[in-house]
A and B are shown apart, each in its own frame.
Chain A
Amino acid sequence: MSIEEYKDVWVFIEQREGEIFDVGLELLGAGRELADKLEVNLCGVLLGNNVKNSAEDLYAYGADIVYVIDDPVLENYRTETYMKAVGDLVRKYKPEIFIYGATSNGKDLASAVATEVMTGLTADTTMLDINLEKRLFEASRPAFGGNIMATILCKKHRPQMATVRPKVMKKPEADFSRTGKIIEEGLGLKEEDLQTKIIDIVKSAKKSVNLEESDIIVTAGKGIKDEKGMAMVKELADTLNADLGASRDVVEAGLIGHAHQVGQTGVTVTPKLYIVIGVSGAVQHTVGMQNSDVIIAINNDPEAAIFNVAHYGIVADAFEIVPKLTAELKKALDKEGVTTNG
């Protein structure tokens, strides 16, 4: 394999029923920067059934080229069909870099493709860059439960691949004046030749909480100790009309469900306001919240790492300050409720 033959930056564009997932657009934003540094094209890879019409939308988010395979067999994600489709495209068009959203299916696909084309894959990256001198892709991620950051390189194999968690990269502003081109390919698989069959897709009743969409999150950490502490934090959250977040310790202690977990093994959130109470600030947690607009941290340990990522810090006993804060907020909101906003 001659690695010089490989160029362009590719982004896998995940969709369901023709609706494109935001993470693909976020990665087009990140991919645009990589492609500009390398002076190559940014390409989207769009697979599905009746998805061709969505391809042109991707130009606005930075794609120069969109590879499309439109086939009824690709209606729903299946490893065997998507791996074949992507593997064929990679072998034919030879991308230098290929990034995927770290969703269930994105991770599944990237892992299968890496084995299929025998290349390196870095999981759950949070920073992407190019070393121009060596023309290498630098994919960085928290490692060992977020205790340290590591930059992973793939020197001798192409494409250099990585998955990126949703919400870590910023979705670019759409520029509808941009244009590009579509390259369409066939799949060459028939339903009857396939091993796996999707019997049903069961959509959960609306999730009890979807922190990724929250404007305000109040998060409880180990420092809140027990149910009583949890209730105190919940009251503050309710007062602010905020959603409840939690660190891994709190979830593992069974104080709240996993849907509330913020961090590397939970969700990545970007609210306008993130209030974090009794969380020490291990990378495991901070990678999931550091892009929040305003972060307020309350912790009784002045040395807590959470103060490194927070915008405002208070060294205090949560059990003392949080109830007071809640009470004062209630007063303020009552007034606000009367005057209301025009």
Chain B
Amino acid sequence: MNILVSIKQVPDTKVIKVNPKTNTLDRSSAPAILNPYDAHAVQEAVRLKQKHGGKVIVLSMGPPQAANAIRKCVEIGADEGYLISDKKFAGADTLATSYALYKAIEKLEKEQGIDLVLCGKHAIDGDTGQVGPGIARRMGMPPLTNVINVESVDTDNKLIRVHRKIEEGHEVIESPLPCLLTVEKTINEVEYAPLPNMLRAARYEPYVWSVDDLEDVDIKQLGLKGSPTIVGTMWPPEKSSGAEMIEGSTDEQVSRLLEVMNDTQELLAVKGGDGA
């Protein structure tokens, strides 16, 4: 079973800084990492490969440095990595991104056959979760989003059964293969890379494809030009008038807090009622 995992290199949003003068992100302030959800997708692919055979192919779109994210996937156990990298892809929103990735998957599907596509639930820089379902729609595959467990894979009958997280719990859903899953972090624990994987990853060079390496590409659907959404304005988060600061000694602060809590709601009474 050949499994393709679509991954993204992202800035670590926990440490990224905003330039207060320009209201733009200072990307140099944040290290680039493999999107954490994608690491779980790769881990799941490796787990399925160990059970059912085949190989794990990783695909990413991004600048040449994104090869580092692919190396990280090789550490986890991916067999092959492909990076589609071209100025024509730049500025893509989720629709244009899913188009470019779809074109690359189509080519890989033709060359080697793909039985399953995995993606992380979303990327932490955009938090959209839109690219996975977009790829599925373009490939004509059923998308199964928010997957928390792959219950079974029936390679003979080409069926997969997974658990999808929904608001009230989860649903058990069966789909024919090939299909596309987007996975939650709870699907597995990403294991520490074994030494041979680390050695292999350090030297690993992914295949790099430009637009010209893909087939039947409609240039108008790529990059900024192919993106229906644009960023209008960016601004730092709103600052309100600010809080009424409660000053004084700790005791004074505490007694003022009690007043506030008593005034604003009958919260203490609520509690008293509960206890009665």
Give A residues with C-beta under 8 Å from B.
16, 21, 76-80, 83, 103-105, 107-108, 110-112, 114-116, 118-124, 138, 142-157, 195-204, 215-216, 240-241, 248-249, 264-265, 272-273, 283-284, 286, 293-297, 305, 307-316, 320-321, 324-325, 328-329, 332-333, 336-337, 339-341
Contact = CB atoms under 8 A, between A and B. Distances in A.
Nearest to A264: B127
30 contacts: A107-B130, A110-B130, A112-B134, A114-B94, A115-B95, A115-B133, A119-B228, A120-B95, A124-B128, A142-B237, A144-B25, A145-B125, A146-B237, A147-B17, A148-B237, A149-B236, A150-B231, A153-B230, A195-B175, A195-B179, A196-B174, A197-B174, A200-B171, A202-B169, A202-B171, A272-B267, A296-B257, A313-B246, A316-B253, A325-B258
A324 B254 contact: yes
Contacts of B25: 144, 147-148
Summarize A's interface: helix, strand, loop or mixed. mixed
Contacts, number: 275
B272 A310 contact: no
A217 B98 CA distance: 40
B265 A272 contact: yes
The 10 A-B residue pairs whose C-beta atoms are closest, nearest first, are A145-B13, A120-B228, A313-B243, A111-B133, A120-B229, A123-B128, A204-B169, A157-B228, A310-B243, A115-B137
Contacts of A201: 166, 168-172
Contacts of A328: 254-255, 258
Interface stretch (B106-114, B138-146, B203-211): B138-146
Contact of B173 (A138, A199, A265): A199
Given A112-B143, A286-B237, A76 B273 contact: no
A340 B163 CA distance: 48
Given A123-B127, A311-B244, A316-B250, A79 B142 contact: yes
Interface in B210-251: 227-240, 242-246, 250-251
Contacts of A203: 168-169
